[in-house]
Amino acid sequence: MTTTLVTGANKGLGLETTRRLVAAGHTVYAGMRDLASGDAARDLGAIAVQLDVTDQDSVDKAIGSLRTLDVLINNAAVVGPSWGLDDLDVDAMRVAFETNVYGVVRVTQAALPLLRQSSAPVIVNVASGLGFPRALLDPEDDSFNGYMIPYASSKAAVLALTIQYAKNLPGMRINASDPGYTATDLNSHKGHQTVTEGTDATVALALIGTDGEPGTRDDVLADMRSIVNAVPDMHWEVQELLFDRDRIAARVVNTGTPVKEWLGVAPTGKSFEIVEYAIYKVNDGRFVQMTNLHHSADVSRQLTA
């Protein structure tokens, strides 16, 4: 049985993630600041646990109540009190970072001893398109119209710390997800996606590698063939490379025009251009591990716009 902890699980994306993982057979601990708000999670079959990611004592007690842990989903997040420049100050920045960044570190660090005992440890950090510079600069992207500085910068930090955790913990599957513009309390339910759509990436990443076995060379080749089959003109252009002992980090621009269904989107004749960040571990002249990050919601938007 896979044991999963979801932070901020009493409502919105966290609650929907909880529902879907319980349905997938996970034993889910639903973390929330106030246990009185946990009835919805309990009704789903989850175990409500008091967890305030801004309080180290609360984090330690919550993690201490678990006997095992296989999957950690750092979902808890706040916008904070600032939505523009006129109400922006350091305190507003601190509020957003306390939950969205420091909270991720608090919970992850506390959970590492249990995750290291798992045969298939997974960490998913729920980020946001607002953390991608390219999305923030693209007038056609939903994130372009988000002007809040604390939230966007905190989510950019989440992407960076996800990559750094992945580099430091190569034996774990560590990824970040982007819910897209989803209708939740955070945006006063103005988003055009449902919470189910908004949790697709998070749930997929939480379920990855549940057998604990790494992908083989044949798995990688099969995946590449499926991509080329759907996008025959797929082009990868390496724009930046960074070498650090046995690791290589790359910034790659992917372009192409799907001719078959790809990423759940039927071919429309439209092309896409996305930036992918990849980290490779090299041993004896061979790539032995790869972690990659790209804005999947941006791909879908480009193909359906």
pLDDT, position 265 = 77
How far, in Å, CA of 136 to CA of 267, rounded? 26
Angle (CA) 244 248 254, round 5°: 150
Band of the pLDDT at 212, cuts 50, 70, 90? very low
Q: What are the two backbone dihedrals, phi and then psi, of residue 158, each rounded to the nearest 5 degrees? A: -65, -40
Tell me the per-residue pLDDT of 94-141, one tens digit each, with 9 for 90 and over. 999 999 999 999 999 999 999 999 999 999 999 998 888 888 888 888
How far, in Å, CA of 283 to CA of 281, rounded? 7
Going by the DSSP 8-state scheme, the letter that residue 171 receives in this structure is: T
- Token digits of residue 271: 């092309």
- Token digits of residue 177: 């997800």
- What kind and span of H or E run contains 253? strand 247-256
Give the pTM.
Answer: 0.73
How far, in Å, CA of 83 to CA of 71, rounded? 33
Tell me the per-residue pLDDT of 252-295, one tens digit each, with 9 for 90 and over. 888 999 998 876 678 889 998 888 877 777 777 676 667 666 66
How far, in Å, CA of 233 to CA of 226, rounded? 13
Tell me the per-residue pLDDT of 21-80, one tens digit each, with 9 for 90 and over. 999 999 999 999 999 999 999 999 999 999 999 999 999 999 999 999 999 999 999 998
